[in-house]
Amino acid sequence: MNTLLQVFPVALRAMVPITLAAVGEVFGEWAGVVNIGLEGILTLSAFLAAVVSWATESPLLGVLAGLLTGALIGLFHGLVSVKLRGNQIISGVGINLLGMGAVGFGAWALWGAKSPMLDRRFWIPEVPGLGVSPFVLLTPALALLTWGLLFHTALGLRVRAVGENPMSADVVGVPVERLRLFAVVYGGALAGLAGAFLSLDWLHTVSATLPAGRGFIALANVVFSKLNPLLALLGGFLFGYFDALGIQLASVAGLSGGVPYQFIRMIPYGATLLVVALAIGRARFPKALGQPYRRE
Amino acid sequence: MRAVLESLVALALGVLVGAAVMAAWGRDPWAAYAALFTGALGNARALASTLSRALPLVLTGLTFAVGARAGLFNIGAQGQMLLGAVVALSCGLFSLPAGLHLAVALALAGLAGALWALPVALLKLGRGVNEVISTIMLNWIAHWLTLYLVVQKLSDRVVGQRTFTAPLGMRFPPLYGELTWSFLVSLGTALFLFWFLWYHRQGYEVRAVGLNPKAARAAGISVPRALLVALLLGGVSAAWAGAIQVLGRFPYAITSDLANLGTLGFDGIAVALIGRNHPLGILGGAFFFGVLATGAARMGLRGVPLEMIQIVQGVIVVAMAAPEALRLLRRVPLPIRKKEEVAA
């Protein structure tokens, strides 16, 4: 029982990437674009954030690099999905493969190692006085902001309109393509932040498989949230808790009570499956989700 | 015809981006590619190695393709492949007459792959869980399960870096160089699925559901059954990819870091896309990636890491996502395209 409580501080960190990536994806899906390349965005932005932090010795610039990387990949995915009317799922898988390859190649080329450790100088410092990562505070704020943006602004209404019925939105003069691009870039930027957090604030390393499926757990969280950013925050904590439980049980000797390490590592994935299977009621997704829009 | 052209342009794009990255890194891309192609195709032994590496990719490509034909995005081949490999090898724990042993190992591996695909179908049909999420989670669970079995249960007591080797009676007999008779499994599965999808009622139903589930249902086709069939067949195929990698290729064992199984499952996605989700196209796509994999070994010696291949793969997949980009390259005048749409 004590163990379950000890996991709590780790869970606060584990919540960050799963929530941020999911909240961004929620925004993009409202506009009608699915991005299953979150895992690739996390991998690449974690890597480039680390590279910039290492080169400039400024973790803040590193975070900005992560954000920018995510936004640019989002823009690329947006161009493929919106302008070229490509297959969004295939593009997402391509981004995931590219992320794996580019980071594996880049880490080797730059540091001659598959998963180099980052020196403390390049980490993001904790919030003075509170002893928590700034991301732990930033994440709920961004979830709230995105929720407000989506449901309480004219912009949010338009974003949801182009996801639900792009033709009607187009008829009343809403710029469908531009809004969709914006939404995917926004989603990519949040995933980029999550990537920067992974390398600079939490795991202090980079590798081709650094996110270890968290990009896909974030997608599960999107389903769980029924496209509500605030529920994605709750889901992020739930999925993050299981992630942290696996990490904590595996890293602290004797906690697991003789259960092999490899079984402990299955916990987050098994729990994700279970939560998604048990989530009550099906989410209703925007009507035009995944569909390119072509003016008649 | 246009489909073939799109695949070729995507391949060329991947190779070009790979060259650009190498050049940016101060390596001579053309020397590297020359090494790659001679390493992969230069002589009969090289060609045998290329074919041998292409064989499992045929099977994982088929997994993705048969799913895609049913309208599924099945990326579970990786986990099913790992389990197929470890189950096939585990059959070495008991002894049977030569040949029969191999057949039993293949049967049990296929069964394991189908069983691992079953929750994907149940979760999708019963709870509406998207297969992208369930397959990735199952891939990770399979990864850790395989690692557990390989490291804790099947490791060789003398050579610590791998499992015990498959007994001779459970291996595919060698054919030439690295190539073994395991090619029959890949070729046979590809031909079977070609026949199944285009000449069998059940396969026709799978394709009908993929083209238009509503129309298929209206025509009296059971959509759940079609999805189940596609997922289970995919599971068997992917598991066989792992099985032939262990029973049909040196070192006839699984290395402790699972490196000789690698990302065979994920690689199948690119293979299937290049092959337009057609069993015969997949044979070609797998051959291309066999060339890359065999040649990459030579490139590795010249200071270009194997991850380069994944970059090329990623570019190819992204390029396959947007066929319209290729059409822009050809500058087809807009009015003609409009007419085509009207006709369609």
d(CA B291, CA B298): 11
Q: What is the pLDDT of residues A96-114, one digit of tens each?
A: 999 999 999 899 888 888 8
Q: Assess B147–A contact: CB distance below 8 Å, yes or no.
A: yes
- Would you state the pLDDT for residue B86? 98
Question: B155-175 burial, b if ≥16 CB within 10 A, otherwise e?
Answer: beeeeeebbbbbbeebbbeeb
pLDDT for B275 equals 92
Domain that holds residue B126: 62-282
Chain A hits for B129, Cβ within 8 Å: 223, 273, 276-277
Q: Do B305 and A108 touch (CB under 8 A)?
A: yes
Q: How far apart are CA B188 and CA B134, in angstroms?
A: 29
CATH topology of domain A2-114+136-278: ABC transporter involved in vitamin B12 uptake, BtuC (1.10.3470)
pLDDT score recorded for residue B337 = 44
**Omega into B251 within 30° of 0, i.e. cis?**
yes
Which pLDDT belongs to residue A259?
A: 84
- DSSP states along B25-74: TT--HHHHHHHHHHHHHSSHHHHHHHHHHHHHHHHHHHHHHHHHHTT---
Interface test with B, best of A44, A217, A262 (most B CBs within 10 A): A262
Residue A219 to residue A276: CA distance in whole angstroms: 10
Dihedral of the alpha carbons of B169, B172, B175, B176, in degrees to the nearest 10: -100
Backbone angles phi, psi at B185, to 5 degrees: -65, -50
Residue A290's pLDDT band (cuts 50, 70, 90): confident
Collapsing DSSP states into helix, strand and coil, what is residue A107?
helix
Q: What gap in Å lies between CA B291 and CA B262, rounded to an integer?
A: 16
| Nearest residue, CB atoms, A97 vs list B129, B137, B313 | B313
The pair of three-digit structure tokens given for residue B91, joined into one six-digit string: 């059959």
- Is residue B256 situated within a structural domain? yes
So what's the pLDDT on residue A146?
Answer: 98
pLDDT of residue A251: 77
Report the domain count for chain B.
1
**How would you write the pLDDT of chain B (344 residues) with one tens digit per residue?**
678 888 888 888 888 998 888 888 888 888 888 888 888 999 999 999 999 999 999 999 999 999 999 999 999 999 999 999 999 999 999 999 999 999 999 999 999 999 999 999 999 999 889 899 999 999 999 999 999 999 999 999 888 899 999 999 999 999 999 999 999 999 999 999 999 999 999 999 999 999 999 999 999 999 999 999 999 999 999 999 999 999 999 999 999 999 999 989 999 998 999 899 999 999 999 999 999 888 877 666 666 677 788 888 889 888 888 876 666 655 544 444 444 443 33
User: Could you tell me which chain B residue has the CA closest to the CA of A40?
Assistant: B314
**Mean pLDDT, rounded, of chain A:** 92
Locate A197 and state its tokens.
Answer: 């957090």
Q: What is the pLDDT of residue B49?
A: 93
Q: How far apart are the two ends of chain A, measured CA to CA in Å?
A: 61
Nearest alpha-carbon partner for B134 in B114, B119, B151: B119
pLDDT, tens only, A35-45: 999 999 999 99
Distances (CA, A) of B125 to A61, B121, B134: 46, 6, 12
Is B311 domain-assigned? no
Please give the backbone phi and psi of residue B58, each rounded to the nearest 5 degrees, phi first.
Answer: -55, -45
DSSP state of B180: E
Q: How far apart are CA B66 and CA B269, in angstroms?
A: 11
CB atoms within 10 A of CB A281: 7
- For A220-276, the pLDDT digits (tens) are 999 889 999 999 999 999 999 999 998 888 877 666 677 888 999 999 999 999 988
The b-or-e profile of B241-260 (16+ CB within 10 A means b, else e) is: bbbbbbbbbeebbbebebeb
Considering the domain boundaries, does residue B90 fall inside one?
yes
Mutation target to probe the A interface, by most A beta carbons within 10 A, among B60, B73, B118, B136 is: B136
Site of tokens 């602004």 = A153
| Contact: A94, B323; criterion CB under 8 Å | no
pTM for this structure? 0.90
Report long-range pairs for B206-215 (Cβ below 8 Å, ≥24 apart).
Answer: B206/B66, B206/B69, B206/B70, B206/B230, B207/B69, B207/B70, B209/B70, B209/B71, B210/B68, B210/B69, B210/B70, B210/B71, B210/B72, B211/B71, B213/B71
The verdict on ipTM greater than 0.85 is yes
CA distance B49 to B156: 26
Give CA–CA dist B9/B151, Å, rounded.
Answer: 43
Q: pLDDT over 90 for what percent of chain A?
A: 70
